[in-house]
Amino acid sequence: MQPEQLGPYQIGEPLGKGGMGAVYRAVHEETKEVVAVKVLSPHLAAAEGFRDRFQAEVESLKALRHAGIVRLYGHGEEEGSLFYAMELVEGSSLDEELKNGRRFDWRETCQITLQVCRALKHAHDHGVIHRDIKPANILLSSRGQAKLADFGIARVFGATGVTIAGGVLGTADYMAPEQAAGTPVTARCDQYSLGGVMYALLAGRPPFRAQDLAAMLQLQRFAIPEPVRRFAPDTPQELERIIARMLEKDPTERFPNTIVVARRIEAMSQALARVAADDFEVYQTGETPAASEIESGSSSAADELAYAVTRDARETSDFEKPVVESSLNGPAASGARYTAIESIDGRGDSSAPWSSIVGQALVLLVAIGMLGGVGWWLMRPASADALHARVQQATEKRDPNTRAIQAVEDFAERFPFDARAEEVANWGKKLRLEQLRRRLQLARYSGLREREASSEEILLQRASRLSGEDPAAAADLFDALAELIRIGDDSTKQIELSLLARGEANRLRRAAREERKQLAEFCGKKLTAAKGLPESRLETRQAIAQAVVALLPPSDETDEVLAAAEAILAGSDAD
């Protein structure tokens, strides 16, 4: 039943309804301000500890005052129902746009991402992690402003054990691997999810697709997505690299924070704009100097970062004020409460002493100078030792992350005569094969449609699906594919696919041998126990032996156990 009044708000038309509750258009009875009021489902409020988490999360969200974050106005409780009032954004969510068939080009994707990056940095600086970045939680206003909604909702609901219709809290399609593994979340979880949203805007689909939740969580933890340019060919290569790094499985391999992501995107956009302005003059196609300087901390990067900080400060200065709580004016209804979040007008005398201004300027100049000095030291290209160590670590961990693959290429280009060049090249082959293997695993888990794959990949996917039902037959099929793929084509790609097929065949055979050894050990123990049974239980002894013969396949690993079982059936094991 729709409420008529909640706190100071007169409830109007419903805007949406889901497993967590309903959202209504509402009007403040005194200020006439139009807002959105979300009423939480009663069964959620009844969950143990939920109210405490709700209150704690609201307290942390009060500090968020940013143009890119849907503003929280207040919260309360009415007749057992928890609700909160927030800014009403006239527009649609990215999820609605995608469902309506809209495909975002790379420029639109970059503009949205830049806005979200700054909003996330503001939240992270206040110790607030969103935990559920997805297209449905990014709203586009009628003026094109991207706004993040439902901050902290995943944490509020996460410990209730409550599931909601249509998914899980912390949507699996965009969930960071560490969230999927149940480990503590950090700000870089939001960065991973934002990378997934960028991928979806460009490709029209999330990085992974799976038939059930368990498979999706496995993909998020272990699989590598297809390059986004496969689905959106017009995407700049640098943007593809940025997204790939945001989607790294290891959080330490992602960008330090979302402002660095924004700077990389801005540097790329500026470089591409120069290319267009200079009549398509050929520029370096790798990382632009601005991009590498931003991460290394050069003086120019320091200037850009300083500008980013001051610009963000200007954008949010009207909101960066302390907050106070005030009760609803007038007598409160029985059993009802409402807490408004108000800004304090602390302007006073806007003038500041000149000594204070000069002092602040000096501090800023010293800080920029220090950043420039550190940047000068850090901006040097990675040494051969550093690149070697990075590739070695990735190889040992079987982690074909983007930075490791790039390090292999950098080593080959800059240090071709280094004594370790061949070793690094071999490690690079292993990492690329592991990358291909994970993509094959991705296809198996997600049921990737064959029309999206090459002929070789279709055959490899079929062999992979067979491996779950008949490993021996799948191994033979992989062997045949290894030969077929190489015939008449010695390109690097074909050689890698052939090696992948051969490797999968060997892996399946090793796994089958280990499985037979395990089964032989298990059945051997059962036969030993059967031999110890008294003659009065001869039928039980023979039944066990018969089961062993029926279950164990003949092989080098099982022949000895099978011979013992057949001896029992023949009666030759009698004491």
Q: Give yes or no for a contact between 479 and 505, defined as CB atoms under 8 angstroms apart.
A: yes
Work out whether the CA dihedral 517, 519, 525, 527 comes out positive or negative.
Answer: negative
**15-19, 347-351, 385-389: least confident range:** 347-351
Tell me which CATH homologous superfamily contains domain 5-89+323-342.
Answer: Phosphorylase Kinase; domain 1 (3.30.200.20)
Could you tell me how far CA 161 lies from the centroid of its own chain? 22
Among candidate residues 543, 551, 545, the one with its CA nearest the CA of residue 573: 545
What rounded mean pLDDT belongs to the chain?
78
Q: What is the rounded CA–CA span in Å between residue 361 and residue 450?
A: 61
- Name the token pair of 205: 């689909």
DSSP conformational letter for 93:
E
Residue 212 binned pLDDT confidence (cut-offs 50, 70, 90): confident
CATH fold of 91-288: Transferase(Phosphotransferase); domain 1 (1.10.510)
Looking at per-residue confidence, does 17 or 396 come out higher? 396
Would you call 479 a catalytic residue per the annotation?
no
Res. 192: pLDDT tops 90: yes
Q: What is the rounded CA–CA span in Å between residue 338 and residue 473?
A: 67
Per-residue pLDDT, 2: 80
Per-residue pLDDT, 280: 42
| Helices of type H across 62-160 | 94-99, 106-125, 153-158
Res. 155: pLDDT tops 70: no
Distances (CA, A) of 142 to 24, 90, 390: 19, 6, 46
- Name the token pair of 30: 């005194």
Domain range annotation of the chain: 5-89+323-342, 91-288, 384-512, 523-570
Work out whether the CA dihedral 350, 355, 356, 357 comes out positive or negative.
Answer: positive
The amino acid sitting at 553 is: P
Please pick, among 95, 132, 385, 556, the residue that the annotation labels catalytic. 132
φ and ψ at residue 83, rounded to 5 degrees: -150, 160
Res. 309: pLDDT tops 70: no
Q: What is the CA radius of gyration of the chain?
A: 30
Output the pTM of the full model: 0.61
Residue in the block written with tokens 């045949």: 480
Residue in the block written with tokens 């790294």: 248
Per-residue pLDDT, 453: 63
The amino acid sitting at 308 is: A
